[in-house]
Each structure stands twice: as C-alpha cells, then as structure tokens.
Amino acid sequence: MLFHLVKKDFLLIKKYLPLLVALPFIVTFLIMIQSSHMTQESQILGLVAFVLSVSFTVFMLYQYVLMAEMKYPKAEALLCSTPYSRSDLVKARYAFLILIFAYCCVAYNVLALLFAKIEYLTPFSYLIVLLISVILFGIYTPIQYKLGFEKTKYFFMIVIMGSPFLLTLLIKINIKVDFTIFSAMPIFVQYLIPIVAIIAILFISIKISIRIYSKKELL
C-alpha cells in the first residue's frame, strides 16, 4: 500500500525527475572540481560533496512535492476517504525521502567508480550523513504538518543556500572530521550507535507527524 503512495509523490514531480537523476552527479562533480586546489584528504572532500548532494536533492524534491500538493488542496481529503489512512500517508512521505537518499548513495558510488579523484565513502560515513538527514527531516516534517508549507518553506531556502557556504568555510579553515572517539569501540558498536539513533529519530518523528496530521482538518 505504501508503494502506491510513494509512487504518487514521484508522479507529482515527474517533470522534475530529470533533475533528480542529474542533480546528485552535478553537485558532487562540481564540488570535487572546485576543491581540486585544496589540501584536504579526498575522503573528507568526498564526504562534503555527498552531504551537499543529499541536501540539494532531497530538500529540493521534497519542496517540489509540497508545492505540487498545494495546487490540489482537495487531493489529501480524497485520499483519506479511500482505504489509505493518514498514517499511511505520513509513512509514505518518510519512505519517499529515504528512497531519494538511497539514490544519492548510488549516484555517488557511480561517480567514485568513474573518477579516481572521488574517493569511495565508508559505510560509517553514509550512516552519519543519513543520521544528519534524518535529524533535519525528523524536526522539519512534524513542523510542516503542523504549520503548513507556506509557513515553513523558508527552511528549505536556508538549508539549500546556507549549506554550501558553511561546508566551504569548514574546508577553508581546515576542520577535519574526527571519529576517533569511536575507534576504541568494537566495530559492531560503532555501527550500532548511529543505526539505533536513526531508527529512534524516525520512529519518534513519524509518531509525532501522524498524531499532528490525524488532528488536521482537510479541505
């Protein structure tokens, strides 16, 4: 059942699907090219490029979905009158975001396969970026359900416009990502911590979003 609701989100933005396909490649490639004169390790540059790739792709496409839904204000009410529950609609939205993140992972690995300068990221790095994304959307999505798109749309602009400047600044001042605090732990524990955090944040955020959306009056 969730499959059809996720498919619905992709159909809403079908004219932007070429952007979905191209954007992770373009962002990652441009960041690596512009950073070619910098002295940071390739792994760090790759992580920065991947964070930007995810931020731009996920946030922009999520915004397009919300904008498309605003054009059809009665669609939500009609969907809720079908066997699809409000809980299903919320869960499908989170699944939509996770799928876009998964595609960004695939896109980055394709680029790493084609270009020697782009280093493969470790599974732990992917987990950290997913954790960052889950925190952002775990906070934003319940607020969006509560206040609506119009009152929260500037959040996207701040993230999309601010993230390149912030990450470029971090590169220029030579701040290194240091996960040595985990090095003394067993590998299993190192991976378990972010996985548990991701699951917990998603569970709490979904529950809050469902509770808010269940009480929302639809047109």
Q: What is the Cα gyration radius of the chain?
A: 19
Size (the chain), residues = 219
* CA angle in degrees (0–180, nearest 5) for 57-210-55: 15
CA 41, CA 175: separation in Å to the nearest integer? 11
pLDDT at 198: 97
Structure tokens at 18: 């070429």
Residue tagged 């470790």 (tokens): 122
How large a percentage of the chain has pLDDT more than 90?
Answer: 26
> What DSSP letter does each residue of 98-153 carry, written as one string?
HHHHHHHHHHHHHHHHH-TTSPPPPHHHHHHHHHHHHHHHHHHHHHHHHH-HHHHH
pLDDT in tens, 194-214: 999 999 999 999 999 999 998
With CA atoms as reference, report the closest residue to 201 among 128, 111, 100, 131: 131
pLDDT in tens, 25-39: 988 887 777 665 554
CA 154, CA 134: separation in Å to the nearest integer? 19
CA 127, CA 193: separation in Å to the nearest integer? 10
CA 46, CA 108: separation in Å to the nearest integer? 9
Below-70 pLDDT ranges, the chain: 1, 34-43, 73-82, 156-157, 159-160, 162-183, 218-219
Ordered alpha helix ranges (H), 13-122: 17-34, 42-71, 75-80, 86-114
